[in-house]
Structure 1
Amino acid sequence: MTAWLSDERRTRTQSLALLITLLAVMVAGILALPGSASDYTDATVYPLMLPPAVLIIGVAGLVAAYRPSTARAVAVFCGVNGSQVAGIAMVATRDWLNFGGADESSRQRALVGSWLALAIAVIAVGAVVASVMVYRCGANRPSILPPQPGMVTAGLAVAAGLPISAYVFWDEAGLSAVGQVALWWSLPWAAGLYAAGVLPTKALRAVALSSLAISVAVTVGCAAAAPVHGFGLRLPYGFGSPLLHYAGPGPSDGSRRSAAPIFVRRSA
């Protein structure tokens, strides 16, 4: 059956979809600000997988604005990726302060970076909320598939299993890594699995699995690039530094560190 939307719902869907794209552009704009990179090096506290997630959200919003009939599929994509962006940003609010304390940036830049990361988190949550609204504006279809308990159980297992496994089996991981792995990966991926188990149509469940698969593939690709590039996102060295007060000399040893460590080392 062809999806059909009234003119009012079509207009609302397009407006919300454009809002999602605008929010993605806002996140990209914040990442381009001087305060999102160290004032000593080209390093940031963000992982390489952040820009692809933001790009997916922005492009998906444009797709729904152009073709409102894809609203529900787009909403699933944006919901999964938006939750990951929000989780990454929430972790970054803490990591920026650690960054400054470890002499990876000035303390002033670390404070600015932490506040900017919080702004990204708030915007990403807004994108998730807008995605839910886009989904509700989508064409109504009867629930033709029963819930799939296996997918729901898998989602719960991923949500709890990945952080615990990181703590138990990764010697370099501290207790804070449990929350970091949960926010970066396990909770967004669990949301994708849960959606694949409860969404009403086979097509939407396939979209949920596709969004999960893309996120996993991006993470694997970033991990593969880590030996050469490092796992952290870099911005041009000295990018925009005149726009913010330079609060002191660089690292005392004159080095340019590539990125902060992913995990906090366990205390003895």
Structure 2
Amino acid sequence: MTVPARVSGGLIVWLAVSLVGLLDGSGPPMHPGLARLLVAVVGVAGLLVAAWPAAARPAAVVGGLAALQIAGYALVASRDWFNFAGAGGASYSAAGAGSLRAFAVAAAALAVLVVCLLAYWLAPGAGPAGEPFRPHRAWVVLAGGVFAALPVLLGAWSGAALSVVGQVAMWWSIPWGLGIAGAGALPSRAARRAAAGGVAGSVMLTTLWFAVAYPGVA
């Protein structure tokens, strides 16, 4: 493992700690309950990138997907702060401050994504010597379906407004769609499995969170 790769792993851990600080004390809780768990995933990914060369690329893939989902949560939260101010009686100045904090979370999460991409590039080889690169088109097609259809289907099922369709896209369909695409297009078998596992884990945890948070709907 090269020194720049180890440094990138340490930077991911530092950004994860910064995300914890930005999320704490930002009540009302505008971020879904999974946000802090995803930050923990980012931190573990950074540790693996820094300390375990063989796991660096898969860890960078999972960390990047988690960071992208955190960024989506934060961007939605930046709008929801103002909805809370109107409905909950909080001042609009407080909503403005909360919205800026949410933007800071999104910026930090996108910085994690960039560093994860850098860590992937700096890590040792993409796979065993001579491993052929054969993109699995079915995964890419499935990714396009998740990316384009999931927000529309969930919006139609819930009778939600167009803004909620955009929320579903940022929370789930964009990170999941890109993860599924990675499962079919990344050159390393380990990275492809990491992308598929990262999406599967996120779907499972999101389903459990949704069932607990909204038992009447689930």
TM-score, normalising length from structure 1? 0.76
* The structure with more helix, counted as a fraction of residues: 2
Residue 137 of structure 1, aligned match among 105, 113, 122:
122
1:147 aligned onto 2:147: no
1:100 aligned onto 2:85: yes
Report the secondary structure of 2:31's partner residue: strand
In 1: Cα distance, 2:170 partner to 2:86 partner: 23
Q: CA 1:53–1:226 in 2, change beyond 3 Å: closer, same or farther?
A: same
Residue 69 of structure 1, aligned match among 54, 58, 69:
54
In 1: Cα distance, 2:70 partner to 2:214 partner: 24
Is the radius of gyration larger for structure 1 or structure 2? 1
State the match for 1:245 in structure 2: none
State the match for 1:82 in structure 2: 67
In 2: Cα distance, 1:15 partner to 1:47 partner: 30
State the match for 1:225 in structure 2: 212
- The one-letter amino acid of 1:37's match is G
Structure 1, gaps ≥5 residues long: 39-43, 232-268
Structure 2, gaps ≥5 residues long: none
In 1: Cα distance, 2:34 partner to 2:131 partner: 34
Residue 27 of structure 2, aligned match among 27, 30, 37:
37
State the match for 1:169 in structure 2: 157
Q: CA deviation at 1:52?
A: 1.0
Instruction: Compute the RMSD of aligned alpha carbons.
Output: 1.9
Residue 209 of structure 1, aligned match among 186, 190, 196:
196
Q: CA deviation at 1:58?
A: 0.7
State the match for 2:173 in structure 1: 186
- The one-letter amino acid of 2:4's match is R
Q: Which consecutive aligned stretches of 4+ in structure 1 deviate over 4 angstroms post-superposition?
A: none
Between the two structures, name the one with larger relative contact order (CA 8 Å, sep ≥ 6): 1
Would you say the 8 A contact 1:159–1:186 is kept in 2?
Answer: yes
Residue 144 of structure 2, aligned match among 156, 167, 177:
156
Report the number of matched residues: 215
TM-score, normalising length from structure 2? 0.93
Q: CA deviation at 1:170?
A: 1.3
Would you say the 8 A contact 1:71–1:137 is kept in 2?
Answer: no
In 2: Cα distance, 1:129 partner to 1:19 partner: 11
